[in-house]
Amino acid sequence: MRIVVIGGQITGSALAASLAARGAEVSVVDRPDPAGSATTRSYGWINSHKKHPESYHALNVAGLEHYHRELVKVPGVFEAVGHVEAAGAPAHVTSLLARAERLAGLGYPVERLTARELRALEPGLRAPARESRGFPWEGLAHPEVLVAHFEALARADGARHLTGRVTGVELGGHGAAVTLADGTRLTADAVALCAGLGSSALAASAGLELPTVAPTTGNPAVGYLATTAPGPRVSRLVTTDRLNLRPHTGGGMILQALDLDVDADPAAPGGQAPARVAEAFAERLAEVLPDAAGTPLRAYVGRRVIPADGLPAVGPVDDAGRLWAVVTHSGVTLGPWLAERTAREMLTGHRDPLLGPFSPRRLRGPVTARGSAAHAPREPGEQ
C-alpha cells in the first residue's frame, strides 16, 4: 500500500515508522518550517491525569503503557521519573484531592506524600504544600528526540521524506493524490493527515470536514511555556500552585504556569512571549525553587492541536478509507500508541476497540454546536 503522511512531527513521524515497519510504501511531507508545530512547543508530560470522559482516560492509559512497554527501551526519549504535585492554595488542595481520589478509583497509581517525603524527593522545592501526592507511573518525554527516533526507523524501512507545503488533497475512486506548493504531485492509495492545525484546511481541500479549535488570544489552543538555561533543577515532573517544572534536555527545565495563558497570543512575533511573561516565570521560579533564582529563561507561545469537541480524531475521514487522520491534543502521550493502532487499521482494517468513540466522522455537520466544548487548561493538574 502506498501512503502519503502529511506532517512529520510526533503523530506523523510515529505513523510513518509504524506503517513502514509493516511494509507500506511511505512518503512523509512536512513543511520546511516546523518550528511552530505543537510538538516543538510541548510540555511533554506523559500522563492520563485529568482526562474525561473515561474512554479518553483509557486511551491515555494505553499511551502511557506503550511508553513503559516500548519507548522506555529507547535511550533518551522517555524518563519514567514520576510526577509529584504539591498543593498549598485551598482551591488547589481541593482539586488535587478530588483528582487523586478519582484516579485511585480507576486503578491509577497515586501515593500520598508527607512533607518529609516530598522534601526527600525534591530537596530544593519551596512551594507551599498542605497536601502532596505522587503519581509514580507518569513520566516525561523529549518530543524532538522522539521525532528523530521515529524518522530514523521510518527511513531504515524505506520511507522517503519530502520538504514542502501540501496545498491540496484529492480523493478518487481508487486512490488519492496530494499537491505541493511547488507543483509536485504525489499519488497514493491513502493519505494520512498528521498535520496538526493544518489538518482542517487539508481535509476541506478534499471536501471533508475536520474542524479544529482555531487558536485565538487566550483560548484553549494557546499557552505559554518557558525553557531555562542549564542550572539547578527538579528531577521529575513537579506541579505546584503557581508553577509546573520538569527537566529538559541539556540540563535546563521546561516551565509552565497555566493561569498566565489567559492572554497568550498565537500571532506573537516569532512565537516569543512578552517580556512581562518571562518576568512572571522568573519570579515564580525564584519562589518555588530558590536555588534556580536568576537562571536565564526564554518564554514562548505554543499552539495546541484540538479537534472541535476537544477529543482526538483518529481513523478514516471519508467513507472509502482514502483519507485518514491522527489529529489530537496530548499527542506526545498518545501519538506513538495511536500510530501503532492506526497503521494496523489502515493496513488490515482492524480497528482497536478503544478508538471506537474517536472517529473523525463524528465531527461532520455544524461546528457551532460543539465549538466551545474544548476546555481551557488553567489549573494545576491540567494540560
Ligand X SMILES: Cc1cc2nc3c(=O)[nH]c(=O)nc-3n(C[C@H](O)[C@H](O)[C@H](O)COP(=O)(O)OP(=O)(O)OC[C@H]3O[C@@H](n4cnc5c(N)ncnc54)[C@H](O)[C@@H]3O)c2cc1C
The stretch near ligand X (CB under 6 A) out of 34-42, 112-120, 276-284, 316-324 is 34-42
- For 73-84, the DSSP string reads GSTTTEE---EE
Query: Are the CB atoms for 27 and 7 separated by under 8 Å?
Result: no
With CB atoms as reference, the residue minimizing the distance to ligand X is: 198
Here the cell at position 335 is: 501519538
- Please pick, from the candidates 188, 258, 332, 346, the single residue that binds ligand X as defined by CB under 6 A: 332
- For 35-104, the DSSP string reads GGSTGGG---EE--SS--SHHHHHHHHHHHHHHHHTGGGSTTTEE---EEEEE-SHHHHHHHHHHHHHHH
CB nearer to ligand X: give 295 or 383: 383
Closest by CA position to 300, among listed 377, 197, 227:
227
The reply to whether 11 sits near ligand X by the rule CB under 6 A is yes
The reply to whether 196 sits near ligand X by the rule CB under 6 A is yes
The stretch near ligand X (CB under 6 A) out of 78-86, 101-109, 148-156, 296-304 is 296-304
The stretch near ligand X (CB under 6 A) out of 71-79, 153-161, 228-236, 325-333 is 325-333
The reply to whether 336 sits near ligand X by the rule CB under 6 A is no
- Please pick, from the candidates 102, 119, 165, 362, the single residue that binds ligand X as defined by CB under 6 A: 165
- Distance CA(329)–CA(377), nearest Å, equals 12
Produce one character per residue of 320-346: b if its CB has 16 or more CB atoms within 10 Å, e if not: eebbbbbbbbbbbbbbbbbbbbbbbbb
Count the site residues for ligand X by CB under 6 A.
39
Sheet holding 190-193, edge to edge: 160-163, 25-30, 2-6, 190-193, 323-327, 313-316
- Please pick, from the candidates 9, 48, 132, 200, the single residue that binds ligand X as defined by CB under 6 A: 9
The reply to whether 34 sits near ligand X by the rule CB under 6 A is yes
- Please pick, from the candidates 82, 198, 215, 336, the single residue that binds ligand X as defined by CB under 6 A: 198
The reply to whether 310 sits near ligand X by the rule CB under 6 A is no
The reply to whether 57 sits near ligand X by the rule CB under 6 A is no
Let me know the angle formed at the C-alpha of 207 by 203 and 208, rounded to the nearest 5 degrees.
50
Helix or strand or coil: residue 316? strand
CB nearer to ligand X: give 289 or 334: 334
- Please pick, from the candidates 154, 328, 341, 342, the single residue that binds ligand X as defined by CB under 6 A: 328
- For ligand X, the binding residues (CB under 6 A) are 6-12, 29-31, 34, 37-39, 41-45, 165-166, 194-196, 198, 202, 223, 225, 302-305, 328-333, 383
